[in-house]
Every structure is written in structure tokens, then in C-alpha cells.
Structure 1
Amino acid sequence: MDILLKNVRLNDGESLKDVAIEDGRITAIEENMTAIAERVIDADGRVLIPGFIESHLHLDKALIADRKPNNSGTLKEAISVTAELKPTFTKEDIYDRAKRTLDMIIPNGVTAIRTHSEFDPAQGFTGFEIVLKLKEEYKNLVDIQVVAFPQEGIIKSPGTEEMMNQAMEMGADVVGGIPYNDSDAEKHIDIVFKIAKKYNKPVDIHAEFSDEATDMSIEYLCKKTIAEGYQGKVSVGHLTALHALPKAELDPIIAKMAEAGISVMALTATDLHLGARNDEYNVRRAVTPIRKLRDGGVNMCIATNNIRNAFTPYGNGDILQTAMLTIPVGHLGGANDLKTVLPMITENPAKAIGLVDYGIAVGNKADVVLLDTKIKGNAIIDIPTRLFVIKNGKVTVESTKETIIHR
């Protein structure tokens, strides 16, 4: 075999296992294996998990915070600052920034990314083409899904619908949408589904990015998803407005979302930074109600969204840190809650973005990460070094950590 991982911890309270990898697949999971491998890695009881999934990202807008700051920290200024900067983006610029961002993310154990890549009649496909290029260049290190994302709207930006179709022909994997930034949210959603059905692709929507629960389209999205037979093929990011709803109004929406099989990507770092900027006291978190959605049967995920731009002026590509931030923000630190967080950056987003053969099981793809912790329950709160990242059965990242304490 190619790789034999010895003495790994797959679950707390269980005996250590050996995991055999050959031809990019997990071929055996047993105790005390004696098989010969080209490379043997002794984990000494450390935790092995499936690769992290970064399920909502914007590679084409990363690393621009230093060019023009968002001084107010508001969504309105973030949009205006980015709109002012976008005409200055060249293909070379986007390629350099997106590549540096990928090189930040991959060593942190991410083996799959869904990135929203925008275009419009004014800027054309400048960034979109670069992201497609990087998808191919990085295919041995990370799987990249590209979302055709109409940031400036579809209806209010004539020519965008045609570009959406063209983007799908060019190789986009997912049809994106942003109904709250268009002149008719329901018609916007209708167009997105029309394109998705034409190309048999999933849908990923920027939804209800607001402090207040007004002018929402999530209920229409649920109805449309069910009517079109798209259960399990629709995801939404942000969904912050739901935090402002009382239980009597929120519960029916959550039930309908669960029925529609809509996954939610909580974008904690961005939404904390931009949300509730006008609150003078009792400042709200302005993050989607993660626990309530989870408890209502909605597939909950945690993702980064932006790295160092006007929407999120920080971040280092470590999704574990985003998950750690989400624990106190979402009241996920209780014993029963904490164990639900790791799945929000592994198996839940894998389900949301439609990955197949994912997870540590015989026959699945060998996309795994060895963490420098011996307790799976501490996999996030330790923020452990990712000692080995294995993608498609090959070691892609090795890290060492040595600390000397002088007493």
C-alpha cells in the first residue's frame, strides 16, 4: 500500500486504529495491521479526521483590505469600497491574491472549497476566468467548486442573465444568487432555478444579509426548492435576518427549510464584523441562529466567507479559528453542543456541497488530516497543528511543532 497510518484515534472512547491508503482510497481500517507500506506514519494516538471543507469563500476578493479600508465597518461601506476597487482588479492581481489565499488555506487542512466568483457586464469574466484556472492548477491539492455569482444582481444589471448561462458553459459548478441585492427577489430566485435546471447544477444563495427580518425571501426559496424537486441541492450563506425573528415566526421557517433540505453556511467572522453597527446598546450578535437551525433539522455549516477585505478585514485561512469563534458566538460550548461543531466544518458541508466518497471509511477517498491532539472532543478548542494533510492518497502538507519551555 502507499500509506499506513498507525495508531490513529477516530473516535474518543474507542481503541486506536490503523488506516491503510492505496491508489487514493482508504483500503482498510483495522487494529494492529502488519502490512507493508511505502510510508508508515505513527500517529501515537492522535486524532485523524476527514479533510476540512471550506464551503463559502470569495477567492477573487481576498487580501484587499489594505487598499481602501472600510472605516465604518458597515455592510453599506463594504459594498461601496469593493465596488470602487473592482475596476482596478487585473487578471494578474486576482491570480496573485487568490493563489496566496489558497496557499494560506491548504496547510490548515482544507481539502475542498466552494468559492463564489463574481462577474457582471461592467467587469466581464476577469476574476471568474482566473478562479477556473486555479481550480485546475490546484486540483491535486484541493477540490474547488466554482459558483457563478451575480454580485450586482441579475434583473437590475441587464446582460447578467446571459452571462450566468455563459459562466455555466465555461465550467461553473454551482448557480449562485443574491436576491436581496436585486430589484425583485422572487424573480431573481426564479431565474437562478431556471439556469440551475437547464444545466442540472445545485444552487447556492446569499440570503437575508440584514440585521432586521424585513423583506425576506427565504420562505419563497423554500417553496421554490420543493416545487422544483431541488431538496438537498440548495445552500444559503449569511441568513442573518433570522436572528431577529421571535420563536413563533422563526419555527415555521426553520421547519420549511428542513423540509426543503436547505443547508446553511454560518459566516460568523463576517457577520459579527458587519452586523448590528447601528445598535447603541444591547448590541446584537447578528449571526444566523445556529443552534435553533441545527435543532430544527437544518444542515448547519461554518465557513469563512472573506479574508482580509472590506467585508472581513482579518483572517488567516484557518477554518478551525472560524469554528472556534463560532463556539461562544453561537452558544455552542456546552458538552452536548461542542460535539456538533466539528461536523459543521467536515461532514455537514461535505453533504451541503455534494461531495461523494467523503469521510473515513473503507472505499472512500483518502482526504484526511492528522491533528496534533489526542482527544477528538478537543479537535477545535485545541486549534491543533495539522501534522499531516493527505489529499487523494498523497501527503500534501507536513507540519512540525516544537516548543521548548525553559524553567
Structure 2
Amino acid sequence: MHDLVLRRARITDGPSGPGQDGGLVDIAVSGGLIAAIEPTGDPGTAAAAREEIDCAGLVVIPGLIESHLHLDKALLDRERPNLAGTLAGAIAVTGELKRGFTHDSVRRRSVRVLEQAVANGTTLIRAHPDVDPIAGLTGLEVMLELREQYAELVELQVVAFPQEGIERAPGTLDLLREALRRGADVIGGCTYNEADPDACRRHIDTVFALATEFGVPVDLHADFADDADDPRFALAEYIADATEQHGLQGRVAIGHATSLSGRHRADRARVLARLAETGVAVVPLPATDLHLGGRNDDTAVRRGIAPVRELWEAGVTTAYSSNNVRNAFTPFGNADLLDIGLLLAQTCHLGSPADQQRILAMATTEAARVVGIADRYGLRPGAQADLVVLGTERLADVLLDRPDRRWVLKRGRVVARTTRSTELLVPQPA
């Protein structure tokens, strides 16, 4: 007998056929894993269970993955907004606010957004707490604590992230080492936040050396500018070379990468091919990238996002994420990946049904590759039963409908429910 069966679930928009109940399936869960997926009505292994959920034709997707989220800096906009609206302004404002961080204040803000993300269908978060002489290890310590305390609701990967640079902030390297010794899952980097291009390359070299020493993946903030005129924001190829040299293919991600869109087409194609060849993933962060971009333009103001369609065509693993929620970098957001996906579709000329389904994959199966869990993820027998039942009956309409997350499951257990009712009050005909 199974622990749970999701009855009459829709996992594709394929045509219905005789005896298939409109193409619906039953998803059986045992021991936290998907045990079977059988057409509804078939006398298969999904027949008996201790608990059942009738999806009644609603769409079921794998759990959403926030592959790049700064929980420690969330909700700071109430304390001090970034009036300049620039990346430099965001770093400066946040640097000042970090001086007042305490364990309790970071935890309180982080928990609020983490729980919001879970309610919105997120089952894994890769969190990037700042590790530097200003914040010390406060954010990292909170994330490690939450990783244990919230393990039954959401998987938390913790990135040791040197927001202030490494050479620019003496003492950061020692803090990064300590963060990795304490159990950080990933080594981060902020490649552009050094004094000159040579220092930026040394920053990358240091990050990759730490990744090799501690056996962890790499997740870099890189090439976050409107164009690549400043060589500090044209380091994607250098990152690809470092990935190959250190044998980390498939274990490196670049967040932002907006300056790729500002390169000439032939140059861009060459760089994208190199990223694909070395297995370096790119994670656009549209809410932040749109907000901070083009601040020095007086006409034809740019709103750069990494060239998503070209990344797809080049074969680069591509996800997207919320990045920040209501702070100096992004004064918007609810930790809702479907909202971010719709924003990406609207701003990157990705309007076809096929495009929108690919965007959904960027927050699910593609993101799983970015964070290294593809071998245990997805809608298939043997995968971990991290699932979301959405309040819509067509997979193609998931982004457009902004559906309720009716049930969110982590390892086969319901961890969040959302039910809403709408009543239209109209005069009744005589």
C-alpha cells in the first residue's frame, strides 16, 4: 500500500484518448518518492493508498526551485530604500544596513520570505548569505540553522557569498574558508566587485581554488552591467576556462550575466557556445536586472536581461530566480517563481505556448540541473516526491493563470495548502 496517491492529476496537455480519463494520471508516493504514475482508471500500482488527494484534473508540476535567492537581505527596503536605483547604490545601502544585522533580525526576515516561498510552491532554495567583514558569518549561521529546522518543508542549499569582493574586503578569504568548514554547500563569488579586471580574475581564481579544495560547486554573480565595455563585466569566457581547468563542468552557475545582451551578436554567439561547451549554467534574475539596468541611459533606456532565447539555442543550461525580495536591489516581489517567470516571458519576447512551457522548465527541471539534483528530481518513478498541485487545468496556462498552489508536497508530505474562493455578485435575471 502506498503512502499517498494524487488522483486525476494532469501532467501534460496531450490529447485525451479512450480509457484515459482525459489524459489524467494517478501519482503514487511511497517513502517520500514517486512510486508510480499510471493512467487514471488503470488497475495499476497506484490503486491503494493510506491517503488520497483528488486533483480533479488540475495540473501537477515538480516543486519549484529558487536557484538564486538572498534571504538574509530580504525585506530591507522598509529600513532604507535605494533611491539612486543603481547597482552601486544597492551595494552601498545594503553595506550600511548590514552593520546592524543581528542573528534575530536576519532570521526574522529570512523566515518570512522562506515560508512565503514554500507557500508559493518552492521546494528547494539556493540561498546566498553575505560573508564579509561587515556581516561576518551572521547570515551564513542563520541559513545553516534554517537548513536544519526547515528541512521537512524545503531543501536549503547555502552559498558562501563575498558580496563586498575578496581583495577589496581584507579578511573575506578567511571567512569564506570558515564558512565552508562549517558546512556551506556552495562557494559564491561577486566577480565585478574588485578594483580592476586583474583583481576580478584573481577573485575568480580564488573561488575556483576554494571549490576544488572543499569539493563544492561554484555560483557566481558575474557580468552584471548594461554592456561589456568595462572588462570587469566581460568575464564569462574566463569563468568557462576556469570551469574546464578545474574539471567542474556542470557544477558552475553565473547569475545575472546581463552584459551578454550588450555584446555584438557574433561575439555573444562565441561566448554562449563556450558556456555550453563547459557546462556553465546561466541564471537570469529579471526582477533585479530590469530594475537596476539602464540607469545611466537618457534615451533608448536599456532594460537588459541575459539573452534567454539565444542561451536556449546555444544549449546553455538556463534557469531563473527571484534573487532579492523588497530590498535595495529589488524593491518588489513575493518569492513567487511563477510571477517571475511571467515577467521573464513578457520582457524577453517569449510569448508562444512553447516558450512559456520552456520558462516553466527553467524553474523546475532546468533549475534542478543548476543546483545539482536532476538525478532525484522530476515527474517520474524514483524521483523525490516534491510536487505542486496548481489551480489550473492546462499546463500551457500555468504562467498566465497565476494559479493557486492548492497543495505543495515535500518528499510526499503536504507542507502547504492554498484555497481561495471567488463569488461574483451579479443581479439575478427576473
TM-score between the two structures when normalised by the length of structure 1: 0.98
Q: How many angstroms apart in 2 are the aligned matches of 1:177 and 1:242?
A: 18
Unaligned runs of 5+ in 1: none
Matches within 5 A, 1:39-54: 39-54=51-66
Paired residue for 2:295? Answer: 277
Aligned mates of 1:69, 1:59 — CA distance in 2:
17
Task: Determine whether 1:391 maps to 2:410.
Answer: yes
What SS class does the counterpart of residue 26 from structure 1 fall into? Answer: strand
How does 1:176-325 map onto structure 2 within 5 Å?
176-183=188-195, 184-213=199-228, 214-215=230-231, 216-325=234-343
1:142 has 2:154 as partner: yes
CA positional deviation for 1:33? 5.1
What residue is the counterpart of 1:26 in the other structure? Answer: 34
Cα shift at 1:156: 2.1
Separation in structure 2 between the aligned mates of residue 317 and residue 298 of structure 1, nearest angstrom: 25
Q: 2:252–2:281: 8 Å Cα contact kept in structure 1?
A: yes
- Measured against aligned partners, the alpha-carbon deviations of 1:183-216 in whole angstroms (never above 9, x if no partner) come to 3111111111111011111000000111121311
State how 1:333-344 maps to structure 2 within 5 Å. Answer: 333-344=351-362
Secondary structure at 2:129 match in 1: strand
Cα distance in 2, alignment partners of residues 119 and 352 from structure 1: 22
Deviation at 1:93, TM superposition (A): 0.4
CA distance in 1, matches of 2:95, 2:6: 48
CA contact 2:291–2:303 (8 Å) conserved in 1? no
CA contact (8 A) 2:256 2:283 kept: yes
Match of 1:70?
A: 82
Give distance in 2, aligned partners of 1:38 and 1:64: 44
Deviations 1:268-308 (A, max 9, x none): 00011110011112111211111111111111111000000
Give me the whole-angstrom Cα distance separating, in 2, the residues matched to 1:92 and 1:129: 11
Q: Distance in 2 between matches of 1:191 and 1:346?
A: 31
CA separation in 2, counterparts of 1:248 and 1:148?
Answer: 35
Letter in 2 for 1:361: R
CA–CA separation in structure 2 for the residues paired with 1:313 and 1:123: 21
Compute the displacement of 1:338 (Å): 2.1
Please state whether the residue corresponding to 1:301 is helix, strand or coil: coil
Aligned counterpart, 2:369: 351
User: Which of 163, 173, 177 is residue 161 of structure 1 equivalent to?
Assistant: 173
Large movers: runs of 4+ above 3 Å: none
SS at match of 1:88: coil
Give deviations 1:135-174, integer Å, cap 9, x for gaps: 1111000000000101111122222112111111101000
Measure how far apart 1:73 and its partner are. 1.2
Q: Is the 8 A contact 2:294 2:304 kept in 1?
A: yes
Name the SS for the 2:415 alignment partner: strand
Alignment size in residue pairs: 407
Mapped partners of 1:71, 1:315: distance in 2 = 18
Identity within the alignment, %:
44
Task: Write the mapping of 1:91-170 to structure 2, written as runs, cut at 5 A.
Answer: 91-170=103-182
What TM-score results when the alignment is normalised by the length of structure 2? 0.93
Tell me how far apart the structure 1 counterparts of residues 73 and 354 of structure 2 sit (CA, whole Å).
37
**What is the one-letter code of the residue matched to 1:20?**
A
